[in-house]
């Protein structure tokens, strides 16, 4: 019969410790490569897709880089490209149109999304809530290019589904992308259809974090739903809605696919948002230096707006 090791007495603690029960000591100087190998694909993907293009864009923004004039080379010109962009009236007007689209869509998406989340959170039919959540994912999962193609079928003046529906009630066909006002409305309507479910899902996740007993206690104090929403539910929604504002701001600034397929920036330049204008400068005028400077300035603008959103709207939930 093997002999067990005798217990040893720890004089400092006044207890008897058994070597058999003691925790095994970690061996120092031994590197375990498994965690690093597990993270390696993600790190390489981030470097290839995010970090390297960013560094290359910043580097190109300081160069005279016109791909239709290869003989002139790509010399560094310092801040000349940024001075050209800041003095470009077309760039500022496209940025203004992008800001208008943001004001037309994001506040409406937040209001509709929170309203849908409140209705789904209050329903007692679990089957309806489950089916609704699945349906909310479908517009988000649809790629912007497909959304633009579907929009062309819906908004077509002669064969579109929307004009056909209007004809059933005796209304004439509408040129949804034929005028500046109608085209902006069409883009805003399509963007709202695609991204309102995203806001609803984020708000619904925030509502599930609200303790039910706090909601019930607030209903005993007041019978107005607005007071309950403002003082009890809204604080739990603010972190998620702040993230929504940051994500949707970045989406609006880089909105290209759906607009290019649906209107190609027209009629005229009425829907030529800043991302569409950058594409025109880079791949129609072939001035990658100017286009890169515009993209870097958009990145700086997005970072600044994100900081403003966090300062104004983000609030920690007190335990």
Q: Which domains does the chain carry?
A: 91-277 (1.10.3720.10)
**What integer best gives the mean pLDDT of the chain?**
88
For residue 192, give the H/E element and its range: helix 180-208
What pLDDT score does 229 carry?
A: 87
Place of tokens 């790509």: 74
Span 244-268, pLDDT tens digits: 999 999 999 999 999 999 999 989 9
Mean pLDDT value of segment 50-78: 93
pLDDT for 93 beyond 70: yes
What pLDDT score does 297 carry?
A: 96
What pLDDT score does 201 carry?
A: 94
Contact 185, 98 (CB under 8 A): no
Backbone angles phi, psi at 147, to 5 degrees: -60, -40
Burial class (CB in 10 A: 0-12, 13-18, 19+), 88: middle
CA torsion sign for 293, 297, 298, 302 is positive
**How far is 139 from 77, CA to CA, in rounded Å?**
44
Span 137-191, pLDDT tens digits: 999 999 999 999 999 999 998 889 999 999 999 887 889 998 999 999 999 999 9
**How far is 112 from 27, CA to CA, in rounded Å?**
57
């Amino acid at each position: 019969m093997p002999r067990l090791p005798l217990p040893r007495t720890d004089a400092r603690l006044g207890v008897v410790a058994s070597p058999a029960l003691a925790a095994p000591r970690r061996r120092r100087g031994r590197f375990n490569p498994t965690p690093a190998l597990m993270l390696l694909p993600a790190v390489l993907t981030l470097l290839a897709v995010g970090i390297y293009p960013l560094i290359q864009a910043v580097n190109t923004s300081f160069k005279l880089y016109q791909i239709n004039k290869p003989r002139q080379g790509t010399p560094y010109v310092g801040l000349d490209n940024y001075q050209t962009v800041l003095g470009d009236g077309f760039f500022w007007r496209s940025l203004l149109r992008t800001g208008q689209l943001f004001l037309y869509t994001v506040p409406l998406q937040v209001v509709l999304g929170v309203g849908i989340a409140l209705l789904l959170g209050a329903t007692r039919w679990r089957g309806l809530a489950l089916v609704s959540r699945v349906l909310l994912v479908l517009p988000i999962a649809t790629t912007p290019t497909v959304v633009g193609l579907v929009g062309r079928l819906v908004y077509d003046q002669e064969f579109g589904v929307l004009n056909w529906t209007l004809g059933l009630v005796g209304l004439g066909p509408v040129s949804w992308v034929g005028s500046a006002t109608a085209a902006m409305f069409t883009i805003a309507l399509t963007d709202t259809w695609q991204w309102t479910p995203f806001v609803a899902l984020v708000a619904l996740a925030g509502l599930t974090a609200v303790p039910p007993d706090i909601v019930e206690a607030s209903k005993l104090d007041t019978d107005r739903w607005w007071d309950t929403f403002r003082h009890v539910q809204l604080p739990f929604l603010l972190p998620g809605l702040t993230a929504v504002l940051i994500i949707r701001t970045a989406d609006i600034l880089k909105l290209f696919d759906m607009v290019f397929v649906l209107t190609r920036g027209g009629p005229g330049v009425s829907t030529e948002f800043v991302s569409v204008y950058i594409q025109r400068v880079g791949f129609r005028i072939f001035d990658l230096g100017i286009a890169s400077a515009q993209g870097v300035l958009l990145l700086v603008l997005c970072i600044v707006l994100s900081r403003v959103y966090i300062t104004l709207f983000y609030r920690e939930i007190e335990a």
